[in-house]
């Protein structure tokens, strides 16, 4: 029986999972991928093999799968049945925040789990849900190797100025730093560049991870130099339900003039702002593109405007720009959004190839474009599988 790695990427209402076979030369081949979505509302379990052929498509009532822990149990039961008892040698998890201590993927024991649970306030939309399946599996299968892979990891080693806020040193030492997120996605892209876009792989590249969460990262010579997210996943670009960069004075105003407490501020910043808050219509770019309401147009205009501003800022952070890479849901699926972003970067010497953009790339700039532009689908799960294999081998 082949050795396998199971990858789990758990969110507030979904669990994505993948199984990889470990080959003779430690190469990893995807054997199946699936997800439980709509946890607590309209749960469904879907999975397909590596060729995209469906393996399961079941729906459940909200009471059957009320939370992520139960969803994880359901995934485990289906995997055991489908894989006929084949047990993964290790399970890799996406974990949003590693704080100042966890700089690289780590095998999780009770102490690690407790330390990661203390970081929940720094990533309330992700960390508790990322950790829940780890806890569930640890309780049921304590000898299973579980590896936490951090979204903050790839950004470790930022130049000091990019790691700081202008606040007293004691707070920095306590861990109040500009960590940056979406690191597994950026690391995957950095690794893919030599193969997909060799001419910029060693140069200065801005990668825009534009999905329901959105951030941008300056990568020079394959290493993260700076990113738009910071201490939490709130900074930088506007997102589905997060406003991104905001004058902290607005928060003081909400506290002093509107009586907001910590929980209300958290709800406001994580759930009530961004594309959803600005448009009053939807957090989904598809809905906004399809709408002729001028609030939808404003929300998209704002999103593109902020991407352009950050592109300029990150190019300045690297003192130059050779290429732009667009990745994640919005970038990978919307030629219109890609075109808008690239057209707005014409001043940097980026010339969009309209036909290549409509065809989906990977290169979407013209041959004579001074700064090239690319669409590269991200694959955070593969990155997690690779890290998990390495940690398991080194145990």
Q: Give every CB contact of residue 185 below 8 A, 6+ residues apart in sequence.
A: 207, 209, 327, 328, 378, 380, 383
Nearer to ligand AMP, 138 or 282 (CB): 282
Nearer to ligand AMP, 13 or 212 (CB): 212
First vs last Cα of the chain: how many Å apart?
Answer: 21
- Set 27, 67, 151, 379: catalytic member: 151
Contact 221, 330 (CB under 8 A): no
Contact 149, 387 (CB under 8 A): yes
Residue number of the CB atom closest to ligand AMP = 329
- State the nearest-atom distance from the C-beta of 207 to ligand AMP, in Å: 13
Angle (nearest 5°) at CA 371 between 310 and 289: 55
Q: Are strands 323-327 and 223-227 parallel, antiparallel or unpaired?
A: unpaired
Beta strand spans in the chain (E): 4-10, 15-22, 28-37, 44-49, 54-59, 90-95, 106-107, 145-150, 204-210, 214-220, 223-227, 323-327, 372-375
- State the nearest-atom distance from the C-beta of 390 to ligand AMP, in Å: 25
Nearer to ligand AMP, 224 or 327 (CB): 327
Interface with ligand AMP in residues 201-230 (CB under 6 A): 211-212
Q: Look up residue 54 and give its two tokens.
A: 């469906």
Of 333, 343, 362, 390, the one binding ligand AMP by CB under 6 A: 333
Interface with ligand AMP in residues 238-257 (CB under 6 A): 240
Concatenated DSSP letters of 32-46: EEEEEESTTSS-EEE
- State the nearest-atom distance from the C-beta of 125 to ligand AMP, in Å: 12
Stretch touching ligand AMP by CB under 6 A, among 83-91, 95-103, 169-177, 280-288 = 280-288
Q: Are strands 223-227 and 214-220 parallel, antiparallel or unpaired?
A: antiparallel
Interface with ligand AMP in residues 286-305 (CB under 6 A): 286, 289
- Rounded distance between C-alpha atoms, residue 172 and residue 178, angstroms: 9
Of 11, 274, 329, 361, the one binding ligand AMP by CB under 6 A: 329
Q: Is the dihedral of CA 228, 230, 233, 236 positive or negative?
A: negative
Q: Look up residue 320 and give its two tokens.
A: 């130059």
Whether residue 151 lies in the annotated active site: yes
Q: Does the protein bind ligand AMP through residue 128 (CB under 6 A)?
A: no
Nearer to ligand AMP, 284 or 308 (CB): 284
Nearer to ligand AMP, 115 or 289 (CB): 289
Nearer to ligand AMP, 107 or 212 (CB): 212
Of 47, 96, 119, 328, the one binding ligand AMP by CB under 6 A: 328
Contact 147, 105 (CB under 8 A): yes
- State the nearest-atom distance from the C-beta of 263 to ligand AMP, in Å: 25
How many residues lie near ligand AMP (CB under 6 A)? 12
Q: Look up residue 242 and give its two tokens.
A: 């997060």
Q: What residues act catalytically?
A: 151
Query: Residues in the site for ligand AMP, rule: CB under 6 A?
Result: 211-212, 240, 284-286, 289, 328-330, 333-334
């Amino acid at each position: 029986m082949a050795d396998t790695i199971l990858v789990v990427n758990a969110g507030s209402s979904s669990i994505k999972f993948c199984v990889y076979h470990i080959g003779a030369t430690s190469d990893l081949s995807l054997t199946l991928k699936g997800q439980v979505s709509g946890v607590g509302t309209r749960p469904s379990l879907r999975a397909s093999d590596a060729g995209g052929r469906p393996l399961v498509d079941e729906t459940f009532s909200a009471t059957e799968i009320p939370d992520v822990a139960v969803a994880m149990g359901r995934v485990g039961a289906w995997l055991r049945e489908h894989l006929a008892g084949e047990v993964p040698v290790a399970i890799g998890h996406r974990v949003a925040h590693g704080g100042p201590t966890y700089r690289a993927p780590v095998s999780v024991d009770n102490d690690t789990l407790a330390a990661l649970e203390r970081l929940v306030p720094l990533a309330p939309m992700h960390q508790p849900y990322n950790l829940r399946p780890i806890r569930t599996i640890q309780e049921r299968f304590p000898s299973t190797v579980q590896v936490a892979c951090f979204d903050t990891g790839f950004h470790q080693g930022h130049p000091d100025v990019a790691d700081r806020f202008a606040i007293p040193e004691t707070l920095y030492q306590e861990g109040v730093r500009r960590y940056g997120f979406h690191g597994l996605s950026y690391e995957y892209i950095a690794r893919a560049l030599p193969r997909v876009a060799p001419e910029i792989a060693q140069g200065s590249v801005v990668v825009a991870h534009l999905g329901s969460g959105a951030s941008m990262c300056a990568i020079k010579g394959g290493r993260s130099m700076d990113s738009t997210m910071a201490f939490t996943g709130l900074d930088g670009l506007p997102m589905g339900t997060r406003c991104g960069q905001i004058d902290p004075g607005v928060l003081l105003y909400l506290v002093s003039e509107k009586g907001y407490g910590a929980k209300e501020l958290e709800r406001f910043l994580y759930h009530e702002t961004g594309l959803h808050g600005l448009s009053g219509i939807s957090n989904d770019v598809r809905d906004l593109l399809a709408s002729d309401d001028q609030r939808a147009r404003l929300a998209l205009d704002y999103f593109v405007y902020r991407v352009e501003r950050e592109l300029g800022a990150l190019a300045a952070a690297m003192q130059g720009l050779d290429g732009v890479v667009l990745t994640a849901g919005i970038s990978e699926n919307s030629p219109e959004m890609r075109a808008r972003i690239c057209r707005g970067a014409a001043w940097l010497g980026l010339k969009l190839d309209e036909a290549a953009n409509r065809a989906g790339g990977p290169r979407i700039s013209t041959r004579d474009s001074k700064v090239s532009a690319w669409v590269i689908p991200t694959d955070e799960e593969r990155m997690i599988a690779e890290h998990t294999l390495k940690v398991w081998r080194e145990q």
